[in-house]
Structure 1
Amino acid sequence: MPDRADIRWFKTRFATRIGRAIAGTPFSLDFMVALACQETGEIWPLLRRQGLGEAEVLRLCVGDTIDARPDGRGRRAFPRDKAQLLSVEGGAAMFAIARQALVEMAVHIPGYRGAARQPQKFCRGFGLFQRDLQFFRVDAPYFLEQRYARFDQTLAHALRELHSKQQRIGFGGRDTLSILEQVAVAIAYNTGNFDPRRGLRQGFRPEGGKFYGEAVLDFLRLSETVAVAGEEPLIEPPRRGEAIVPPPSPVEATGPAMRVDTRVSTLFLRSQPRKSRPLRANVIGELPDGQRVRAITGRPINGFMAVEISLSGALLRGFASTQFLRPDGSIDEAPVATAEAVPALPKAVMPRRRGLVTRRADPAGAHSLNEDGQPGRHGTDVDTLRLELAAIIDWLGVDKDTHRRYRPRDGLTFCNIYCHDYCHLAGVYLPRVWWSTPALLALQRGEDVASLIGDTLREMRANDLFRWLRDFGPMFGWRRTGTLTKLQLAANQGAVALIVARRRDDGRSGHIVMVVPERDDHVAKRDAAGEVTSPLQSQAGVVNFRYGTAQPGWWNRETFAENAFWIHP
């Protein structure tokens, strides 16, 4: 399937022409690249690698030889087989073209050679963006004149179909679409419709492979890491063992600049312009005192102002009480925080005696695991990263009675240790121990500090990890994200993602869970609009489980003072 080099070739040849065609549409260049990768990505990369010119690549972008079966299974659309194609006007000429296209394409594509040896077989998909032969009876010239072999024609047809499907699934008349909304249109392009409740797990799925929607998103993200000549990529290509994660969304509101002014506490950001019962039921974030925000309209509603903010990288939109907002003419743009490339402080790691092995079967302690055969995350593509994270979850086996490291005991639970272990194996720093305040001050002065538990080091509970992520996480590549949908999306790309909630009573345990990639047998919960309401989680706690959705909104219970969603590539 296409890799970065293939996408670079594609953009070099077609980006300018696509750019002209999509002007004024809600579809991006990278979306159109992803569509071509999904529709004919098994064809054109192999053709171009064999040195074929553009015209030949376009002419041989054909495929799909699925026949109807005697038991009624298989293809149901016209033409079900050779006989049905020959039964219509022009069908014989079309069969000759479709048969010859298969034979010539199979010379270069080994996977089609078996079909090419069967004389009744012929192609039914034509063009870089694939138009199915079921439309032959309404537009025979497109196929008989081989218009699909011209880039402008196959592109124009794809855009017409995309606009039609945009209308069908309720996005008509919109000049912009989010990434997920564009992929939803692609699913409709493939299937004719889209069900938001199923997320991207829709559309054609080859045996053992990904759903159409999942594959389009994966290709889209990959395309965003490939720059057109003279430009920077939208996303920097990740290093080995890291996922493709887009940069934080910028603040787009253009209303008056304002500043939070409470002098007492943080300010709740709510999903509706009203207080809720329970008090935190509609809270989507907490704004620090002094935080800069942008009003969206500048008009108060029921004593609340609609505002937008970037908080540690998370774009949040909601309603804040006008009682605690003040005009602030000192800012023109709301800053967007990003993760730091280089930590300003060294990692704190618990030292160990020579030969000491920390195992899952042992009671929890301050050391990280160092058993033989530990899995890791080293992949360079999204499929490998997802498989590696699944292998980490299975190896940790948080629900196994023999893994005493995570088993609740004496009123204690070990969510913090499980999340540390998951991150440790995935190559991401989430501390099991951290520097004491005197040690931090000494490090800032440039002094050498020995790692001594109970002196310069202290163990980290869930409440501590909430504060560490807020204060130090960006130094080590962590950043917040604003919605559960974005959180699950990052996990599905093979990134490390978590939810952390700080307990209101600091003497009692908070909670932290990993958000993990969806799979066939375990998926996130979504509402009728397709937004994630409860992501797929893996945790240690009162109940240990490898995969589950837990109670939706547990992080917003009154027992917790605040919460946040964090991701790391």
Structure 2
Amino acid sequence: MANADDMAWFKRNFHGPMARAVRGTPITVDFLTALACQETGEVWPLLRRKLTDVDRVLTLCVGDTIDRRSAFPASRAELLAAPRGQEMFAMARQALVDMARFVKGYEAVARQPAKYCHAFGVFQVDIQHFRKDPDYFLDRTWASFEGTLERAMGVLRFALKKRGFEGCTALSDLELATVGIVYNTGGVRASAGLNQGFRPPGGTFYGQALFDLIRLAHTVPDPGAAGPMLAVPPAGEALVAAPLPVGAGGTPMKVTVSEGMLRLRSAPEISDPPQKNVVAHLPDGHPVRAHSGPLKGFFGIETSFKGALIRGFASARFLVADAPDAPIELTRPAPTPPAAGIVAVHMPAKAGLVTRRRDPATARSVDEKNAPGRTGTTPDELRRELAAIVAWLGVDNPQFLRYRPTRTATFCNIYAHDFCRLAGGYLPRVWWSSPALLRLAAGAQVRPLLGDTIVEMRANDLFRWLRDFGADFGWRQAGTPTELQAEVNQGAVGAIVARRKEEGRSGHIAMVVPEAAARPARRDRGGAVTAPLQSQAGADNFRYGTGRANWWNGEQFAESAFWLHA
């Protein structure tokens, strides 16, 4: 398949016509680049290395020789019987032979005289359209970039209408990927997420593969640009979207609460129970921008909090005017953990002691040999590695006492720590005590001593740690479950954490894991994730599940948040 170097070649050669074609639409050059990679990425990246003539490369961008199909032509005989079908077969047959001279994967099928191509052009127009528009195929309009691009944009405009995106000026990567699914199949079931469209044997669905390619295209700068939209992450980290700033406009306001946090809601009303429609919690003094209202005593607001772009409705009683030039801080996760000052800490190892999954839980981290990790450089590799971590930890194995709940304790915090440690993200099992933090901040060296300078971390503690220290160790918040699941599907580490109202009672943390065809997240009819795919220890241990929708908004919890680590 195509890589970043191939995308750079594609942009160098075709950026101009693509930029002109997308003007006035939410389609982007990166999306078209990704679409070309998804449609013919097994062909032109090989051809460009063997041929210097770009036009010749374009004429050889053909494919799809699968015989079993429901669309016209269902057979070679049906094609030959159609008006000008003999001409079409001859051209489609020769196109296959010509392309197979350079692409070895097609050599065997090209030796079969009945075989021919069914799709033509960089953006692959299917032969089913031959009966309505024979000239497009027989005049080889598809073999020019302008010809294939014009046809693709026509289909994409249809797809935008089908998705209800007409009139939009910009779309997210996730929304663009659903437009691509319509391009591939003619329709989309939003509630099914990106696991839709063509899927090669053992491969990734069209929708998810296209999303992966859109993200990769963001790492390739356009000709003349100062740099790419996203930097290439190191091995073992996912290509996660950068935090989005608050948009322009809106009335500057700030939160004013005397107790607890401001509940930001999905609608201008207090739900029953009151926590049910809460989408975020904001602290006293936090700046926001009001874009609507007051309506029913609520302002529609937007803000950024701990790296998450958050939108919702806030009670007018808890907002006051802010300075006109009051900034809204954009928290960016640190690329590497701190090497001095307040640094990561672990329970010191004990000579000769191996901490195993079979042993009862302690403050030490699992250190068994041959544990899996996360070292991949592609979304497919990272997804497989996260699945291997889930399998190895075996949280539902009754023999693994480390995670098995007892009559008085559950171990969601320990499972989350072990998961993150194997995946390369720091989530503490123990953390510095308050006096130790003061000494570290002053530049002193502190020895980790359990019960003195370090303390064990429970779910409520992890909630506070992520809020206060998470960004220093690579974490940022996600604004919605949909954003959280989409980034985890790229191979990122994700977690949902909720803090209990009653101090001393257990909060909860669950890891969010990549979806698979047989293991989807739960979505509503519009495609919004209502319950991400989770893996957890707790009162109920499971490797994969969606649990109870909106559990983090239970009335027993004071606040909750979604967290991401690349």
With structure 1 as the length reference, what TM-score do the two structures score? 0.97
Q: Which runs of 5+ in 1 are unaligned?
A: 68-73
Which residue does the alignment assign to 2:231?
Answer: 236
Paired residues for 1:128-527 under 5 Å? 128-229=122-223, 230-252=225-247, 254-297=249-292, 299-331=293-325, 333-342=327-336, 343=338, 345-527=342-524
C-alpha contact 1:167 1:173 (8 A) present in aligned 2: no
Instruction: Report Cα offsets for 1:227-268 as digits up to 9, x if no partner.
Output: 124432111111000001001122115111001122333211
Identity of aligned residues (%): 54
C-alpha separation between the residues in 1 aligned to 2:100 and 2:37? 19
Instruction: Report Cα offsets for 1:179-200 as digits up to 9, x if no partner.
Output: 2222111111111111111111
1:58 is the counterpart of 2:58: yes
Instruction: Report Cα offsets for 1:265-296 as digits up to 9, x if no partner.
Output: 32111111111211111111111000000011
Paired residues for 1:22-41 under 5 Å? 22-41=22-41
Further displaced range: 82-91 or 387-396: 82-91
1:227 maps to a residue whose letter is: P
Paired residues for 1:77-88 under 5 Å? 77-88=71-82
Residue of 512, 528, 532 corresponding to 1:531: 528
RMSD over aligned CA atoms reads: 1.2
C-alpha separation between the residues in 2 aligned to 1:203 and 1:399? 33
C-alpha contact 1:125 1:133 (8 A) present in aligned 2: yes
1:488, distance to aligned residue in structure 2 (A): 0.6
Which residue does the alignment assign to 1:70?
Answer: none
1:210 maps to a residue whose letter is: T
Further displaced range: 482-491 or 75-84: 75-84
C-alpha separation between the residues in 2 aligned to 1:196 and 1:521? 17
SS of 1:296 mapped into structure 2: strand
C-alpha separation between the residues in 1 aligned to 2:71 and 2:19? 33
1:267 maps to a residue whose letter is: L
C-alpha contact 1:253 1:308 (8 A) present in aligned 2: no
1:536 maps to a residue whose letter is: L
C-alpha contact 1:253 1:296 (8 A) present in aligned 2: no
Which residue does the alignment assign to 2:550?
Answer: 553
Which residue does the alignment assign to 1:89?
Answer: 83
C-alpha contact 2:478 2:484 (8 A) present in aligned 1: yes
C-alpha separation between the residues in 1 aligned to 2:281 and 2:162? 38
C-alpha separation between the residues in 2 aligned to 1:214 and 1:220? 10
C-alpha separation between the residues in 2 aligned to 1:363 and 1:510? 20
C-alpha contact 1:40 1:129 (8 A) present in aligned 2: yes
C-alpha contact 1:432 1:459 (8 A) present in aligned 2: yes
C-alpha contact 1:253 1:295 (8 A) present in aligned 2: no
Instruction: Report Cα offsets for 1:103-122 as digits up to 9, x if no partner.
Output: 01011111111110011111
Q: How many residues align?
A: 562
C-alpha separation between the residues in 1 aligned to 2:209 and 2:44? 17
Which residue does the alignment assign to 1:71?
Answer: none
Which residue does the alignment assign to 2:562?
Answer: 565
Q: Which runs of 5+ in 2 are unaligned?
A: none
C-alpha separation between the residues in 1 aligned to 2:158 and 2:272? 43
C-alpha separation between the residues in 1 aligned to 2:110 and 2:545? 46
C-alpha separation between the residues in 1 aligned to 2:191 and 2:444? 55
1:140 maps to a residue whose letter is: P
C-alpha separation between the residues in 2 aligned to 1:264 and 1:449? 35
SS of 2:455 mapped into structure 1: strand
Which residue does the alignment assign to 2:44?
Answer: 44
